């Protein structure tokens, strides 16, 4: 079969467009990413050299999948030679080849968000500023936004408008912090995430021969998720495509959700200005979702004023309605959703990987983790505290970073006295102070006390010098040893492995195992590199690690697991069954977004993104009270629930007015103890109108003793064969209502109430 047969008429036209600028703006699930993939395959089929293609994707995982798909269409492994990945990972590599021009070492460090924050914190402290006013987060946001708009420290300081904005927000010293921050990153041979784009712009601006080289190399440029590019990214793409103008961008203005990171929807409008003769393609048929989901999503997004008109339709089945579940607490939400997943899996033979739980903030994952773990269901959390952010992993990686770039100050400060080698804080403070006075990096001082004398005790000085020697010996092996050999050597001789091995507490054992896992990962990296006939240094490995996006952190055994992630990270992905949780005012939409229409519209786009991830079923949930910031707060259902057209919605367990005195049974949840007087559930139910009345349990299911009428999650029940148990979830209504019950004797069962002989017991 011809590969073009896998496309509809409009998609095919877009794919067959080879030369000249083009743009596809189309709704979710309409095949934009598919068009991009097929278009690359089509280019290759038409004799375009793989080396001349640059494709920018939202995650590295998406790039990997795209390559596999291209290979399956074209045959062979030509896709290996395409430059493809996220903006950050593609340009980090380009910067590595050219770093000397910018005065950076080729093994420059990439500072993660935590590194940046700790550096900002240190600067605020050194400047004697109040860190309650100059909060690292806020300052970092400001610096990041400056960089993404290509505003240098000098330009920042000279910009009257910006400086007066800072003054208005009572942070007039940000320009000084920015300047010092940029200087210190440079001294440390480090770039933060924004620098990867900022410095690429500097490189292409100040070195015409470099620009020329890449313009000639990348004759075809393709960008997915174009609506979320920021100014810095826009300009890179514009410069690279300036000669051949073979540029293809695909996106959906209705899914622009990264404006807080400087993403600029105007880039879509700029495209029209930059390439007046561009060809525009529209895709309107959605292939992903049931028609109920597509229609519900349309009804959400049409409330936004700022959008390009689109008509998305589908010929897929109608499917079920969007379910809305109300829970009392976040813990109950965890249980109910988990049980629902369990049921769908049992009844439909779905795989774990068919399910996604999407939330607004990472902190919401806890209750789901707990209940998934209880039921022993495999899951994977993307984002949040990932493997690479664990202390022991960061410690060992800090050694790797130093081996690649000894000037990396954040890494140096982290491990100069770990494992303990008797270098105290006072000596370190003196060294840091001296480094500032000599205007060099800490590394310069400790590796050459003759040149940079510091008045500290001889003992401390010796220990620091020994540490420097150790790092130098690692650094010497960087370019000659395969990643795994050096990593293993560092893990042993730094003393980290021994330190963790000696700790026999369960946590210590886990940490030791984590280090082994990291080493195993590096081993795998080394083997893969060898297969490509490359050595693969530890510093190559570090780039891969530093630029993993939230959706990338997946290992082999993660493949068939339930996905937990933020909506932001879910962009571009699809799952048969999607649960969007925590639909409450001040959480989603987020409290911070309630001050302006544009911000509220961005939250609504986020909601649209979430709903359009679903293929077969989409479930929304909200709770009446939730623990936030260590306190129980009463929540109101999100306005977004109300905004979905009622014809596509099924409100499931609306139990208003029926909660009576039996709302919370004794052992239902520990939260009850935490919340005396928490009895007025339903008060938060403000805007919700039940679509259909649901009776909790058919009263005909009376059996023997207590009846199961008004059965609720948390009730103790007894079953003739299974014995005593506890209700963990209720699903459906009327004669179809089912209860999931955990029986200590036999495990969990889902029972149809009209058949099951259940008795409520105290
Ligand atoms: N012509 C087609 N025939 C069959 N399946 C298709 C066709 N076009 C797209 N699909 C499928 O529909 C789903 C959505 O496509 P794709 O992910 O490319 O959409 P998208 O527009 O990029 O979505 P998003 O806006 O969420 O990024 C995918 O599973 C894709 O394989
Ligand atoms: Mg896509």
Residues 54 and 176 in one domain: no
595 is catalytic: no
**In this structure, which residues have their CB less than 5 angstroms from ion ligand 2?**
32-33, 572
Q: Which of 6, 15, 29 to mutate to test the pocket of ligand 1 (most atoms within 8 A of CB)?
A: 29
Whether 251 is in the pocket of ligand 1, judged by its Cβ within 6 Å, is: no
Q: 692: cis peptide before it, omega within 30°?
A: no
Any domain includes 228: yes
CA–CA separation, 179 and 173 (whole Å): 10
The range of the structural domain enclosing residue 127 comes to 109-188
Catalytic choice (11, 33, 57, 364): 33
Comparing CA positions, the residue from 419, 414, 422, 470 lying closest to residue 442 is: 414
Q: Which atom of ligand 1 is nearest to the CA of 609?
A: 26
Q: 8: cis peptide before it, omega within 30°?
A: no
Residues 265 and 326 in one domain: no
Residues 169 and 206 in one domain: no
Tell me the pLDDT tens digit for each residue of 121-157.
999 999 999 999 999 999 999 999 999 999 999 999 9
Among the candidates 599, 628, 652, a domain finishes at 652
Task: Decide if 29 contacts 11 (C-beta within 8 A).
Answer: no
Whether 268 is in the pocket of ligand 1, judged by its Cβ within 6 Å, is: no
Any domain includes 317: no
Q: Which atom of ligand 1 is nearest to the CA of 283?
A: 21
User: What's the pLDDT at 656?
Assistant: 39
Whether 30 is in the pocket of ligand 1, judged by its Cβ within 6 Å, is: yes
Query: Which residue has the least CA distance to atom 25 on ligand 1?
Result: 28
224 by DSSP, 3-state: which? Answer: coil
Whether 8 is in the pocket of ligand 1, judged by its Cβ within 6 Å, is: yes
Any domain includes 299: no
Tell me phi and psi for residue 658, to 5 degrees. Answer: -110, 5
Any domain includes 696: no
Binding positions for ATP: 26-33
726 is catalytic: no
Whether 252 is in the pocket of ligand 1, judged by its Cβ within 6 Å, is: yes
Residue 75's CATH number: 3.40.50.300
Residue 6: other Cβ atoms inside 10 A? 14
95: CB partners within 8 A, 6+ apart: 102, 104, 108, 191, 196, 199, 200, 203
CA of 33 to the centre of ligand 2 (A): 4
Q: 419: cis peptide before it, omega within 30°?
A: yes
Strand 83-85 and strand 53-56: the pairing is parallel
Binding positions: 26-33
Q: Which atom of ligand 1 is nearest to the CA of 26?
A: 21
Catalytic choice (32, 335, 470, 712): 32
Q: Which atom of ligand 1 is nearest to the CA of 613?
A: 26
Ligand that comes closest to the CA of residue 252: 1
Ligand that comes closest to the CA of residue 571: 1
**Helix 174-187 vs helix 136-148: crossing angle, to nearest 10:** 80
Residue in the structure block whose two tokens are 């942070």: 171
Residue 512's CATH number: 1.10.486.10
Any domain includes 302: no
Residues 515 and 575 in one domain: no
CA of 481 to the centre of ligand 2 (A): 39
Strand 738-743 and strand 747-752: the pairing is antiparallel
Residues 518 and 395 in one domain: yes
Query: Which residue has the least CA distance to atom 23 on ligand 1?
Result: 29
Strand 716-719 and strand 758-761: the pairing is antiparallel
Residues 36 and 79 in one domain: yes
Sign of CA dihedral 282, 285, 286, 292: positive
Residues 642 and 563 in one domain: yes
Residue 520: other Cβ atoms inside 10 A? 12
Residues 279 and 240 in one domain: yes
Residues 537 and 558 in one domain: no
Ligand that comes closest to the CA of residue 32: 1
Q: Which atom of ligand 1 is nearest to the CA of 36?
A: 18
Whether 72 is in the pocket of ligand 1, judged by its Cβ within 6 Å, is: no
Any domain includes 685: no
Structure tokens at 397: 């990686």
| Average pLDDT by stretches of 10, the chain with 762 residues | 90 96 95 96 95 93 92 91 94 94 94 92 95 94 93 95 92 96 96 96 97 96 94 95 96 88 79 93 96 96 87 95 95 95 92 96 89 90 74 94 96 95 93 94 95 94 96 94 94 94 84 88 85 83 80 63 94 96 94 84 96 98 86 90 96 52 31 30 29 32 52 84 81 75 71 76 80
Tell me the pLDDT tens digit for each residue of 693-718.
233 333 333 333 456 667 888 888 88
What element of type H or E holds 750? strand 747-752
What value, to the nearest 5°, has the Cα angle with vertex 680 and ends 676 and 683? 140
Catalytic choice (112, 115, 180, 225): 225
Residues 394 and 535 in one domain: yes
187 is catalytic: no
Residues 36 and 64 in one domain: yes
**Number of domains observed in the structure of the chain:** 5
User: What's the pLDDT at 684?
Assistant: 30
User: What's the pLDDT at 1?
Assistant: 65
Any domain includes 312: no
Any domain includes 238: yes
Phi-psi region of 704 (alpha: psi -120 to 50; beta: other; left: phi over 0): left
Residue 129's CATH number: 1.10.10
225 is catalytic: yes
CA of 178 to the centre of ligand 2 (A): 36
User: What's the pLDDT at 694?
Assistant: 31
CA of 595 to the centre of ligand 2 (A): 30
Structure tokens at 22: 């083009």
723 by DSSP, 3-state: which? Answer: strand
Residue 528: other Cβ atoms inside 10 A? 11
Residues 418 and 528 in one domain: yes
Whether 528 is in the pocket of ligand 1, judged by its Cβ within 6 Å, is: no
CA of 329 to the centre of ligand 2 (A): 34
This prediction's pTM = 0.79
């Amino acid at each position: 079969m011809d590969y073009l047969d896998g496309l509809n008429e409009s998609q095919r036209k877009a794919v067959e467009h080879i030369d000249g600028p083009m743009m596809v703006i189309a709704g979710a699930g309409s095949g934009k990413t598919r068009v991009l993939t097929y278009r690359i395959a089509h280019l290759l089929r038409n004799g375009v050299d793989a080396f001349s293609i640059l494709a920018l994707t939202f995650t590295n995982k998406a790039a990997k999948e795209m390559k596999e798909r291209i290979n399956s269409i074209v045959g062979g492994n030509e896709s290996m030679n395409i430059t493809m990945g996220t903006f950050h990972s593609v340009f980090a590599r380009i910067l590595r080849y050219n770093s000397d021009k910018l005065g950076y070492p080729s093994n420059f460090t990439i500072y993660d968000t935590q590194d940046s924050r700790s550096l900002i914190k240190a600067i605020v402290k050194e400047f004697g500023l109040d860190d309650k006013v100059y909060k690292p987060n806020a300052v970092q946001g400001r610096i990041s936004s400056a960089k993404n708009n290509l505003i240098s420290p000098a330009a920042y300081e000279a910009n009257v408008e910006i400086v007066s904005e800072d003054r208005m927000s009572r942070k007039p010293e940000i320009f000084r912090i920015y300047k010092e921050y940029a200087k210190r990153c440079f001294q440390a041979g480090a770039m933060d995430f924004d620098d990867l784009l900022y410095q690429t712009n500097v490189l292409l601006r100040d070195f015409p021969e470099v620009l020329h080289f890449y313009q000639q190399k990348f004759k075809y440029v393709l960008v997915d998720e174009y609506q979320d590019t920021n100014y810095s990214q826009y300009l890179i793409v514009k410069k690279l495509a300036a000669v051949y103008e073979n540029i293809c961008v695909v996106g959906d203005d209705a899914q622009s959700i990264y404006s807080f990171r400087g993403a600029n929807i105007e880039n879509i409008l700029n495209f029209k200005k930059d390439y007046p003769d561009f060809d525009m393609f529209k895709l309107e048929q959605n292939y992903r979702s049931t028609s109920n989901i597509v229609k519900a999503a349309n009804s959400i997004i049409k409330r936004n004023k700022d959008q390009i008109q689109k008509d998305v339709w589908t010929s897929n089945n109608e499917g079920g309605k969007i379910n809305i579940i109300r829970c009392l607490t976040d813990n109950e939400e965890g249980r109910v959703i988990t049980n629902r997943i369990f049921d769908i899996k049992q009844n439909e033979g779905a795989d774990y990987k068919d399910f996604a739980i999407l939330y607004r903030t990472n902190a919401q994952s806890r209750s789901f983790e707990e209940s998934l773990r209880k039921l022993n269901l495999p899951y994977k959390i993307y984002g949040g505290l990932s493997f690479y952010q664990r202390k022991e992993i960061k410690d060992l990686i800090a050694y790797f970073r130093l081996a690649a770039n000894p000037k990396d100050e954040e890494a140096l400060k982290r491990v100069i006295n770990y494992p303990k080698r008797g270098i105290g804080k006072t000596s370190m403070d003196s060294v840091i102070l001296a480094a500032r006075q000599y205007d060099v990096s800490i590394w310069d001082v400790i590796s050459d006390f003759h040149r940079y004398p510091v008045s500290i005790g001889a003992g401390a000085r010796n220990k620091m010098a020994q540490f420097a020697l150790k790092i130098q010996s690692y650094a010497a092996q960087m370019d000659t040893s395969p990643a795994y050999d050096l990593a293993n050597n560092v893990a042993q001789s730094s003393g980290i492995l021994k330190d963790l091995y000696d700790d026999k507490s369960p946590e210590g054992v886990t940490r030791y195992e984590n280090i082994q896992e990291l080493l195993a990962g590096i081993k795998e990296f080394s083997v893969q590199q060898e297969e490509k006939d490359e050595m693969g240094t530890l510093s190559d490995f570090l780039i891969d690690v530093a630029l993993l996006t939230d959706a990338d952190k997946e290992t082999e055994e993660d493949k068939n697991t339930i996905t937990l992630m933020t909506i932001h990270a879910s962009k571009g992905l699809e799952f048969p069954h999607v649960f969007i949780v925590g639909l409450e005012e001040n959480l989603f939409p987020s409290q911070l977004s309630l001050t302006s229409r544009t911000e509220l519209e961005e939250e609504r786009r986020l909601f649209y993104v979430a709903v359009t991830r679903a293929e077969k079923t989409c479930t929304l949930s909200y709770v009446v009270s939730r623990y936030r910031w260590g306190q129980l707060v009463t929540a109101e259902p999100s306005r977004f629930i109300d905004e979905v057209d009622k014809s596509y919605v099924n409100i499931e367990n609306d139990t208003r007015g029926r909660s009576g005195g039996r709302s919370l049974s004794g052992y239902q949840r520990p939260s009850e103890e935490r919340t005396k007087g928490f009895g007025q559930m339903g008060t938060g139910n403000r805007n919700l109108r039940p679509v259909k009345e649901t009776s909790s349990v058919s009263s005909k299911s009376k059996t023997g003793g207590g009846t199961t009428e008004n059965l609720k999650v948390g009730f103790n029940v007894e079953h003739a064969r299974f014995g005593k148990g506890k209700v963990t979830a209720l699903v459906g209504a009327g004669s179809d209502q089912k209860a999931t019950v955990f029986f200590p004797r036999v495990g969990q069962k889902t029972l149809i109430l009209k058949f099951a002989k259940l008795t409520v017991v105290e």
